[in-house]
Amino acid sequence: NAGVTQTPKFRILKIGQSMTLQCTQDMNHNYMYWYRQDPGMGLKLIYYSVGAGITDKGEVPNGYNVSRSTTEDFPLRLELAAPSQTSVYFCASGGGAWASFDEQFFGPGTRLTVL
């Protein structure tokens, strides 16, 4: 199993550009999450999904959108990039019916810089 994969690994955007961060998991997990991590800060939840077709906002959703059309994929969309979105983005997935207390499996992260 590849686990959780994210693309791209690095990206530089200009202010106002848009992009999609891709996330795929092959563990058949129902729950998927997007976090951002700023230097010296903890992980902040952006959006999460409890299954295909169901998404909800986390702590810092402004400026982002998500979709979950399949169990495997959970892309994160930035519509109008701003310098405040410079961060490292992690996608994670977690178990099945009992995922409310399962471990999370994290991807390797996408380092995004907005200039």
Smallest distance, another protein to C-beta of residue 16, A: 28
DSSP string, the chain: ---EEEE-SEEEE-TT--EEEEEEESS--SEEEEEEE-TT--EEEEEEEEETTEEEE-S--TTEEE--SSSSB--EEESS--GGG-EEEEEEEE-STTTTSSPEEE---EEEEE-
Considering only 31, 34, 64, 74, the residue that binds another protein (CB under 8 A) is 31
What residues between 49 and 108 interact with another protein by CB under 8 A? 50, 56, 58, 90, 92, 99-101, 103-108
Q: Contact residues for another protein (CB under 8 A)? A: 4, 31, 33, 35, 40-45, 48, 50, 56, 58, 90, 92, 99-101, 103-109
